[in-house]
Structure 1
């Protein structure tokens, strides 16, 4: 992290704190008001007296006169109280940390003014040091001491996972969330992570984590899991020393002799293993983050890079690295966009679609009703106008739709941001209930062309989603 990015991240935390302070007064009192009060109001979990006692315990944790070991011991005592506390009491602790341990805004403003004035001069370095020191808030030191005791990192990750759903309704917690995300980005940097292979011979407690955290294709049974860990499969995860038996993210890989266009053969427990001597394709068919508290901390791109390096070392014949990925946002997007997309069809295409739907000219209502029938979709031939229309919609959604400057689909955003390109749209490749609900069963291959990753990232930065010529040909004009 550069000095400028570090300073900006710290200033963003301060701005979040200021936003919370300057926001219109909410129904609930601030912790400052409650600390100065005598009586507890309705809906407040801790009384003013209990709140003052809890604040004193937090201040004792961060007391500069005590050692890191003693500070960690005091943090552990608070964490033990937290484990027994009800949700409302926990929220009071969050509010205290968020509102009572922020940086000194006056000192930060003065240090920032000095830094701005010193830019480009011989005093720039010393001004940056003063600004860095001003930005290190008591909240930072407090959270560092919680992380110091055994189990403290687990406590903080779980705390943020519990905190995140509350942010929308309580902006006063934004500063604490921003501080945690910033610290986690450092503590969980890929330089500190270990890539480990997860196999059928791994400890049962670790294998069970795959069942618990699988987020793309649910693991239905132990037989299903064993199939995913068979001889022609690989599973890799990133691990952190503070969470030694907990994968932060894991990827499931199938070794094949051609690019997969349907998920069902990969999940078929009765299928014979592939001949690894003939395997030239590695398909990443499931990538799952496991820790909700680490939202915003990115290590998925590094995972793929490390896995590719590991696979190439083990299987030199592998030439193609690609995914078979879901399209999670396609269906809700179609509901909104089909009326507009129909206007891009020429008269011949519109007429052919209308004849297939037995309604000319076809309307969005009739198209949406037709594609909402999985059995009908699964039986459509390759020349079906409805199939072609839906495939074109999927390609257009992935390659042309934007939310601001970013591609709209979250999975596409992840893989394209890592340098992949949209390679192929696969018809009814996931007939499961989840696959139909997400994207009417369609899936996509993202290709990782190792020689063109930087080129593809550059294209994306310039507003163009990298895609094969076959996919581009499907876009609506």
Structure 2
């Protein structure tokens, strides 16, 4: 074993040694500016340089942008040899000083670069857009996933629930935000301003969105809610131009009929669970007459599953649609045991149960294409949410009403899905 003096000299050498610097393969102006930002002598000079870099990135051609991402990925990566040396030293002498050096070495310089860039005005939105663009390139260049991992890691901290602000979107909200609600709606298209007005203005219609202080005018996710008497059976019923408005105090059911994520650059960061729970709490306090909280949800994987199984979904046979839909939601599983349908995975993981299935519930072109018009109500029973989450998490059990289970059994002989 090395003597104390020798060990001290070794640690001193390790801690003082500068990280290995790879020669850049993209020493263009943006790459050089990024290096300069990492060495900026003051916060003020760094802020100005960060703003210039973000503006320069926006002007890059696709080819230059590819080179820039490769620069981030390769030139600003970790030095595994140094990490190995420091890890060995820490195993022998786990002092705070060695730990600090090891932790610093384990963090790639690009993470520090992203933090430095975030000093600039509106930089958070720019970095979110940067990741959105990066994600489009991962299929062709999967090695860029290292850079994506670092952005995702930072965004998980920057966009955690403690920083999010819930806002009620109304017809009186700023036009710039209303325009974004129209643009971001991903479930049931908002065709025009009149369509939006019918979803926001009546007393029995609500919309809530999460915002981040660094992006105060751009929603992260929003949910549209209808207050109804009873559980609705179709989206046509909810969005009809000629429907009769219900006074809010007459409603006994809150229906979450559309949830839209707005920022492609925040993919993988879940806001929906927190949003639904917060809205349920707020509506329960505001309107004690609300006794049920359900969704009216699309079933985006139903038609693909039926086609793969050689099953013809007969839109003129509502009972067949309902039986096969129930069977699909309860029995069609991925190889990991979770439901095949992505919307089902989301709601079941959040503690909901499959409450009712409906045929002819979405007769739009999109609805007929993805699910032969079928839709489903997921019920958020506040007394059972924790139990449902535990069952789904531990046993992959799909909680469902007796009526849905009966429909699934009726269809079981004719549709036996295989794991994906």
Q: 1:89 to 1:234 in 2, by over 3 A?
A: same
Q: What pairs up with 1:147-166 in 2 under 5 angstroms?
A: 147-166=118-137
Q: What pairs up with 1:209-220 in 2 under 5 angstroms?
A: 209-220=180-191
Whether the 8 Å CA contact 2:24–2:71 is kept in 1: the answer is: no
Q: Which residue of 2 aligns with 1:465?
A: 398
Q: Deviations over 1:72-126 (max 9, x none)?
A: 22121112222222111112111111111112212333455667x59xxx95988
Q: Deviations over 1:432-475 (max 9, x none)?
A: 11100110000000000111111111111212111112112222
Give the distance between the partners of 1:459 and 1:235, measured in 2 at CA: 31
SS at match of 1:402: coil
**Is residue 325 of structure 2 the alignment partner of residue 400 of structure 1?**
no
Whether the 8 Å CA contact 1:99–1:172 is kept in 2: the answer is: no
Give the distance between the partners of 1:159 and 1:318, measured in 2 at CA: 42
TM-score, normalised with respect to structure 1: 0.77
Q: 1:317 to 1:112 in 2, by over 3 A?
A: farther
Q: Deviations over 1:367-414 (max 9, x none)?
A: 35xx3xxxxx2xx4xxxxx43333222112212222232221111111
Q: Which residue of 2 aligns with 1:411?
A: 343
In structure 1, list runs of 5 or more residues that go unmatched: 1-31, 36-47, 339-363, 372-376, 381-385
Q: Which residue of 2 aligns with 1:178?
A: 149
Q: What pairs up with 1:102-121 in 2 under 5 angstroms?
A: 102-112=77-87
SS at match of 2:126: helix
Q: Tell me the CA shift for residue 131 of structure 1.
A: 4.3
SS at match of 1:261: coil
Give the distance between the partners of 2:147 and 2:193, measured in 1 at CA: 40
**Is residue 30 of structure 2 the alignment partner of residue 58 of structure 1?**
no
Q: Which residue of 2 aligns with 1:318?
A: 290
Name which of 342, 360, 367 aligns with 1:428. 360
SS at match of 1:403: coil
Note the aligned Cα RMSD (angstroms).
2.1
Q: Which residue of 2 aligns with 1:86?
A: 61
Whether the 8 Å CA contact 1:422–1:444 is kept in 2: the answer is: yes
Q: 1:72 to 1:453 in 2, by over 3 A?
A: same
Whether the 8 Å CA contact 1:284–1:323 is kept in 2: the answer is: yes
Give the distance between the partners of 1:202 and 1:53, measured in 2 at CA: 42
SS at match of 1:250: strand
Q: Which range moves more in the overlay, 212-221 or 92-101?
A: 92-101
In structure 2, list runs of 5 or more residues that go unmatched: 1-21, 414-420
Name which of 366, 369, 374 aligns with 1:442. 374
Give the distance between the partners of 1:114 and 1:336, measured in 2 at CA: 56
Whether the 8 Å CA contact 2:24–2:75 is kept in 1: the answer is: no
Q: How many pairs does the alignment contain?
A: 386
TM-score, normalised with respect to structure 2: 0.87
Q: Which range moves more in the overlay, 290-299 or 263-272?
A: 263-272
Give the distance between the partners of 2:118 and 2:266, measured in 1 at CA: 14
Q: Which residue of 2 aligns with 1:195?
A: 166
**Is residue 386 of structure 2 the alignment partner of residue 454 of structure 1?**
yes
Q: Tell me the CA shift for residue 322 of structure 1.
A: 0.6
Give the distance between the partners of 2:60 and 2:102, measured in 1 at CA: 37
Whether the 8 Å CA contact 1:223–1:269 is kept in 2: the answer is: no
Whether the 8 Å CA contact 2:30–2:56 is kept in 1: the answer is: no
Give the distance between the partners of 2:203 and 2:97, measured in 1 at CA: 58
Q: 1:144 to 1:33 in 2, by over 3 A?
A: closer
**Is residue 112 of structure 2 the alignment partner of residue 136 of structure 1?**
no
Q: What pairs up with 1:189-268 in 2 under 5 angstroms?
A: 189-229=160-200, 230-268=202-240
Give the distance between the partners of 1:411 and 1:428, measured in 2 at CA: 19
